Amino acid sequence: MEPRIIIVVQNLKIGGSQRIALDEAYGLASQNFFVTVITLENFLEDKVNNFVDKEKNFIDKYKLTIRAAEGTRIKQFKYFKTLFKSSEVSSEIISHSLRATVLIYLARQFCRSDVQIHTVIHQLPSLSNSSQRIKRYIYSILSDNLFTFSIAAKKDWDANIKSSFWLKQLFRGKQIKLLRNGVFLDRLPANVSFDSRRSTENLRLIFLGRPTKWKGIETIFELLQMDQLVSAEALLFFPYENKELLSHLPITVLNRINIVIGKSIRDYYPKKGDVHLYPANYGENAKFIESISINCLEMAAIGVPSCVTEGGLETWPEFSQNSLITEVDWNDLHKTAETIVDLHNKNLSELDLIKVRNLVSINNHINQLIEITSLKNI
C-alpha cells in the first residue's frame, strides 16, 4: 500500500500558503507518497484566482486527490471525524491552517486516532492584533510539531512567548522549528538565457503579488519616475484588480505599466535583464521583517534577480554569494534605482543558477519534514 499523507489548507486561491501546500504535494507525490489535499473552502469557487484551475495538468500528473471540508465548523469537524474512521486515513497530516489544526485535533480526540499533526505557520505573529495573536498561540499548542518559514518569523514567535508569563507556561518544552520554503522547480517557466553579453532588452521591473500597501507596490510606481528608470517598463502580476491604485499616476508612468490579472509565474516569460522587486513594508514599528517571498525564490530559480527589503538574508545567507537576491533600502530610491540598473546589466553564470536551483528546491523542505517528523516511518 502506498504511504499516504494529507495536506490541509484554507483554500487554493493564488497565495503564499497555498503555493507551499501545493508544492509540498507535488514534491511528496514525486517521492511516491499518495497525497490528498483538503481545503476548508470550496476550491472551485473562484476560477480566476485559483491554483486548481491554473495547475490542473500538474494535479493530474501527480495524481493528487483534492477534497473540500467546507461549511460550518461543526460540519468540518464531522468531516474529519468521518475521515479518521475510514480505512484510507493517513497517520500524518500537514496543516497550513490553524483552524484546521484545531478541527483535526478535536476529531482525533473524539476518534482516539493516532494521526500526527504537523502545522506550518505562515505569518509573523506581530502582524496580528493582540487578541488574534493569543488565539493563534492557543490553537498552535494543539499541534504535535510546529514549523515556520523564516528566522524572522521564529524570532517574532519566540519573542512573544518570552514576553508573556502564560505563553511561557503553555509552551514549556515546545518549540517552533525553522522550515525554509521551497519551490517545485518543474512548474517554473524556462530559465533566462546565459548569453554573456549585456542585455539588449529594455529594463523591465517585475512584481508578483497582491496590490496592497504592505507589499510595497506604490514603491514601484515611485521608482518608475526616477531619472535612472525613466525608460523602464513594469510587468505586474496581480491576483485581482485594483483600479484605484493607478488613478493618481501620470500618463508617462501608466504607459509603461502592463498588468496581468489572475495569472501565476507559470504565465511569465522571463527576459534577460528583468529585475524582480519585492518592497515589503511592515511599518515603522516592525521589529521583525521577512523580505524573501516565495516569488523571490521562484525568480532566483529561473535566473531573475530580486531586490528585497533588508533582513531576508538572515534566513537565506547563501544568496550573499551571488546577485540573485539583493537587499536594498527602499527609503533611498536613488541608490535603489542604481542597484536595479546594475542588476539589469549583470551576467549570471550557469553554475550559480544550478547551485541556486538546488538550494531552493522543495526537496530540501520535504526532506527536512521527513527527517523531523515520523513521515519516514509510513
Cell of 9: 489548507
- Cell 517545485 sits at which residue? 184
* CATH number assigned to the domain comprising residue 108: 3.40.50.2000
CA distance 181 to 23: 10
Looking at the structure of the chain, the number of domains it has is 2
The secondary structure element, H or E, covering residue 370 is helix 362-372
Residues 72 and 142 reside in one and the same domain: yes
- Cell 505557520 sits at which residue? 121
pLDDT at position 96 is 97
Q: Where are the beta strands (DSSP E) in 228-344?
A: 233-238, 257-261, 275-278, 306-309, 325-328
Which comes out higher in pLDDT, residue 16 or 360? 360
CA distance 297 to 305: 10
Residues 170 and 193 reside in one and the same domain: no
Residues 193 and 251 reside in one and the same domain: yes
In this structure, of 73-82, 209-218, 291-300, the range with the lowest mean pLDDT score is 209-218
**Domain ranges, residue 108:** 4-184+361-377
Q: What is the mean pLDDT of residues 360-378?
A: 82
| 135-163 pLDDT per residue, tens | 999 999 999 999 999 999 999 999 999 99
Residues 170 and 192 reside in one and the same domain: no
Candidates 56, 47, 43; CA nearest to 11 is 43
CA distance 336 to 358: 29
Do the Cβ atoms of 247 and 364 come closer than 8 Å? Answer: no
Residues 147 and 83 reside in one and the same domain: yes
Cell of 229: 528608470
Q: Where are the beta strands (DSSP E) in the chain?
A: 4-9, 34-39, 65-68, 92-95, 116-121, 145-148, 176-178, 204-208, 233-238, 257-261, 275-278, 306-309, 325-328
Residues 301 and 320 reside in one and the same domain: yes
% the chain with pLDDT above 90: 62
Side by side, the strands of the sheet bearing 257-261 are: 257-261, 233-238, 204-208, 275-278, 306-309, 325-328
Residues 9 and 114 reside in one and the same domain: yes
Residues 206 and 352 reside in one and the same domain: yes
Q: What is the mean pLDDT of residues 209-225?
A: 86
Do the Cβ atoms of 116 and 373 come closer than 8 Å? Answer: yes
Q: How far apart are the first and last CA of the chain?
A: 10
Residues 144 and 202 reside in one and the same domain: no
Residues 338 and 208 reside in one and the same domain: yes
Residues 44 and 123 reside in one and the same domain: yes
Q: What is the mean pLDDT of residues 266-275?
A: 90
Do the Cβ atoms of 306 and 336 come closer than 8 Å? Answer: no
Do the Cβ atoms of 178 and 158 come closer than 8 Å? Answer: no
CA distance 12 to 56: 12
Q: How confident is the model at residue 1 (pLDDT cuts 50, 70, 90)?
A: very low
pTM for the model: 0.91
CA distance 212 to 218: 8
Cα 38 to chain centroid, rounded: 18
Residues 302 and 169 reside in one and the same domain: no
